[in-house]
Structure 1
């Protein structure tokens, strides 16, 4: 009697959860990266697999360097980041293409078409082409898991780092994923001296450049038979070439059409593409963002239509693809649902709010940075004037300082979060001190990486697994760099913070102000006893001073003249401010602004 086999386990996973499972099944041993939507949850799930050492790095460059080192030590390694993070990691990425690997090395990069949470709409496929690296692109969670495992096999087979491109729709959508077997490691961990391969002096690098060219040739041949590159037969009149989520959009919009689905988008299978193109009357290239596939296919002399009709800006959808090609969307296609607007806003009780209120009062030019505090540019705070990339605020403020000279003294400040300062802001501060700048740098220390979901960082005191870790001392770090004047304030104390800012902005040399108070969403802050404030309606004069904070817990209640008279208000009072006590956490910022005793502390909130 034969023993009945157990059916493979079916799981309902997001793309990021599936990638973490893929890392587990691929026997990855080291994973490092930096949080950034839509990639964040990959490492947040990888850490649940005890056999994988997992860490948050201070930035993506360090994360990739950690993974490269682990690969050189003979284990499979993973680096994760979002598309703009790949810019930070580009330096080691391009040279790792020359060195190759020992243990498999995969870099997962998550793009963000339509910029749901990003400052640009970068297409990471261009990095694969420029760095001469293979890139795989899954279309759903199940493919994401399997392609990650395939990526490790390719990495070791062809002695190369491999890029895997996800995107918002793949990372955050849920799908059925089949759990698989855990692969045996290809190598025994250990160090092997290979200086000709791993030391990129010019003489060695020139030899490795030839090896990269040969690798590209071999990968091009491999792409022709790679199982993830497949033709799906159709009616032959119209054909599509697509990869990733664009493939799914085409399948929904044109279910009867022939499709060449590319799982490897660099290098391309030239013969497969030529054969497919010859079998259809009209060929369309459908892809999000840049004409990456289209440009290369046209360079092969193949007639095709792409960005002439397919939008190059924003995220595609089945309806957009259908309308672009036929001029109308089919009635049975799912069209985007109009949702009520939900303007972004800092949380009720956010410690950053008091700072930006004061910066608005001071009328300074604010060189901003990437983080949830970037919302300080919105009215009514309206206190951020630039924002380019992570860590740029300090260097930009220094540049303004040098450009304006004495005329600009006391007019420019740099604002940067704690995690962003550790990411790439420290070098900017070193530069300002070294080159005798006069900027005031404000470090917003809320003890966490708030923007991406409260991940710990080197200043938080815990690791990704919430084990205790050394905590960066920002005042001592700044003094070690050479900053003579470093002051720490509680940003909820509005007047005290205002006075410190005023003094430091007028100082004729670099100074640092650290605003320190935990993010309201940290575990510790959630446990703090809270005494929400409430409105003493009879005392409110409708002056609207408290509304200048932009706190979502304070709402304006309009009054008609008759209502104002009934409430005993002045005839011209248009309304009053009302605190939502369910949202209020009792930070006290509004209390500091009210001059009419219209705000009072309430009872403890459970």
Structure 2
């Protein structure tokens, strides 16, 4: 691979900068599940010649990354903020086991919910799991902090969380790479260490003590030489901040002294204390939860936190000025834009038209088909998280009066079904409602919502090369559901509507796979299938 030997400047997004750093560090493997705003990291890594792959979901991606790091390699695992919920089980335990190589986990948070169902603040995960966390504020820091995360992970044999946000992921700023190659990872190889890697209670108890000792060492390092910056200014006004909030603070409050934190868990509390008491007034400016402010005040550091109204959405220069002035007047509502809609000609339109016309109670899921909730369809009644459509639909079937229960349909997309729908289907077989149930899998041959990525059901890898294919109908029939129908809903919309009605009336467990390629991906899919790179194996 080509690695930099002289400083090189370029304009990159934060996602591209993370990918470049991973490439320059000779990453062993990048894994993840596509989710805005993190998707472009692995795509960019692949375009640079690095090794990257999509996993069925974030939990599997992290587990693969853990295996890489157990073997002495360097792993990068990417996901959006809600994806870390899916990966939380291995996340908490790998903090105990530690790693032998490097394990960097990217959580791309979405303040303001540009493309998400919540705006949770994943800085809380670093505290709960006990793993160090870095927060870049622009593309240069995204590059630098990715390299630092690898360094810290290898130094302390601990996973590191790189917490980004939508603005950092997608904004482009200048990145300068170093004029020397990044030190390579030691040769990979397995070193047996059962007490460190097997988390039965007898080994997990001492592992927890070791974890806390590591965090104490990292906290001391952060106090001495951590990645922070102090911008001198007024003795009257000081600001403690991190991430992209720093950019807004510098423009909104140019007179203020600023302490910008880079490693935000464990925090350099004594440096924060020294900074705060040196100023007449010290504000904490941060997006989302008052994590920095709560931590400072819990340690007895005199700071002012964001008012509650600024906890929602992204910050900007005007909002930071309002924070400093204590302006709590209601904020103007944003001008509504054109609402999103399913593409004209999208096969999902036929499905939602049928569900609307039949008066179904629709338990929905995460994907572009979530737009079925909007006009002209208004054909979705619940949406919780990826894979929830099946469980929620079953719960409704178990609860509602018979005539209402027979109208309940679960709707899930192809990528989402692979991600977290299979266990719901097991529940459907294991605990069938008295009225039966109908599951609709909308198979458009791609992960459309995040930019037309591949998934196991397409039979193609991240680079679109042929690989083993997960065939939905084969697996569903093998699970004991005899009523499995594979149809193109657009060929005969009336017949499709009748099939849905017949399935609802049958009182049996039924699955309809509505299969037609996404219009945006159809041309590319034909090309991939015409020129496969390797063989396709169905399983």
TM-score (structure 2 length as normaliser):
0.93
The CA distance in 2 between the partners of 1:185 and 1:89, in whole Å, is 28
Contact kept? 2:22, 2:147, Cα under 8 Å: yes
- Following the alignment from structure 1 to structure 2, what is the Cα–Cα distance between the partners of residues 461 and 212? 40
1:263-283 per-position Cα deviation (integer Å, ceiling 9, x unaligned): 011111011011101110001
* Secondary structure of the structure 2 residue equivalent to 1:260: strand
CA distance in 2, matches of 1:252, 1:137: 19
Identify the residue that residue 61 of structure 2 maps to in structure 1. 63
2:451 counterpart residue number? 453
Q: Secondary structure at the match of 1:521?
A: helix
2:402 aligned with 1:403: no
Name 1:314's counterpart in structure 2.
313
The 8 Å contact of residues 136 and 164 in structure 1, kept in 2 or not, is answered as: yes
In structure 2, what is the Cα distance between the partners aligned to 1:296 and 1:325?
A: 20
CA distance in 2 between partners of 1:327 and 1:156 (Å): 44
Distance 2:97 2:423 in 1: 28
Distance (whole Å) between structure 2 residues aligned to residue 310 and residue 144 of structure 1: 29
CA shift for structure 1 position 182: 3.4
SS at match of 1:236: strand
**1:60-209 pair list within 5 angstroms:** 60-180=58-178, 181-209=180-208
Q: Which residue of 1 aligns with 2:389?
A: 393
SS in 1 for 2:506: coil
Please say if 1:344 is aligned against 2:340.
yes
1:219 deviates by: 1.2
Paired residue for 2:442?
A: 444
Q: How far does residue 461 in structure 1 lie from its aligned partner after superposition?
A: 2.1
- Deviations, residues 385-405 of structure 1 (Å, cap 9, x unaligned): 000000000011111111126
- Which residue does the alignment assign to 1:30? 29
Q: Secondary structure at the match of 1:285?
A: strand
Deviations 1:17-41 (A, max 9, x none): 0000010112211110000000000
Scaled by the length of structure 1, the TM-score of the pair is 0.83
Offset at residue 255 of structure 1 (A)? 1.1
Which range moved further: 396-405 or 197-206?
Answer: 396-405
Residue 578 of structure 1 aligns with which residue?
none
What corresponds to 2:536 in structure 1? none
Q: CA deviation at 1:474?
A: 1.2
Matched-pair contact (CA < 8 Å) for 1:72–1:102: yes
For the residues of structure 2 that align with 1:265 and 1:9, how far apart are their CA atoms? 29
In structure 2, stretches of 5+ residues that fail to align are 528-539
Deviations 1:319-375 (A, max 9, x none): 11102222679xxxxx99977722101111111000000000110100000000000
Residues 6 and 409 (structure 1), Cα distance of their counterparts in 2 relative to 1, 3 Å cut: closer
For 2:47, what is the secondary structure of its paired residue? coil
Aligned-partner Cα distance in 2 for 1:473–1:503: 24
CA distance change for structure 1 residues 336 and 67 in 2, over 3 Å: closer, same or farther? farther
Take 1:347 and 1:310, find their aligned partners in 2: how far apart are those partners? Answer: 36
- Aligned 1:289-438 pairs, distance under 5 A: 289-308=288-307, 311-326=310-325, 341-404=337-400, 406-437=402-433, 438=436
Q: Which residue of 1 aligns with 2:533?
A: none
SS in 2 for 1:78: strand
CA distance in 2, matches of 1:231, 1:456: 44
SS of 2:121 mapped into structure 1: coil
In 2, Cα distance between equivalents of 1:350 and 1:526: 16
The answer to whether the Cα contact below 8 Å between 1:138 and 1:147 also exists between their aligned partners in 2 is yes
Q: CA deviation at 1:185?
A: 2.5
Give yes or no for the alignment of 1:265 onto 2:282. no
SS in 2 for 1:311: helix
Tell me, in whole angstroms, the C-alpha distance in 1 between the residues paired with 2:165 and 2:193: 36
Secondary structure in 2 matching 1:47 = helix
The answer to whether the 8 Å contact 1:310/1:321 transfers is: no
Query: Equivalents in 1 of 2:345, 2:418: separation in Å?
Result: 24
**Partners in 2 of 1:41 and 1:337 — Cα distance?**
31
1:56-78 deviation line (CA, Å, top 9, x unaligned): 00000000000000000110101
Check conservation: 2:307, 2:323, Cα contact below 8 A.
Answer: no
Distance in 2 (CA, whole Å) between partners of 1:176 and 1:340 is 32
**Separation of aligned partners in 2, 1:190 and 1:327:** 57
What runs of 5+ residues in structure 1 fail to find an aligned partner?
330-334, 529-606
Residue matched to 2:531: none
CA distance in 1, matches of 2:290, 2:401: 44
- Cα distance change of structure 1 residues 310 and 244 upon mapping to structure 2, 3 Å threshold: farther
Conservation of the 8 A alpha-carbon contact between 1:72 and 1:101: yes
RMSD over equivalenced CA pairs, Å: 2.0
Residues 309, 513 of structure 1: CA spacing in aligned structure 2 closer, same or farther, 3 A cutoff? closer
Aligned residues: 518
Q: Secondary structure at the match of 2:214?
A: helix
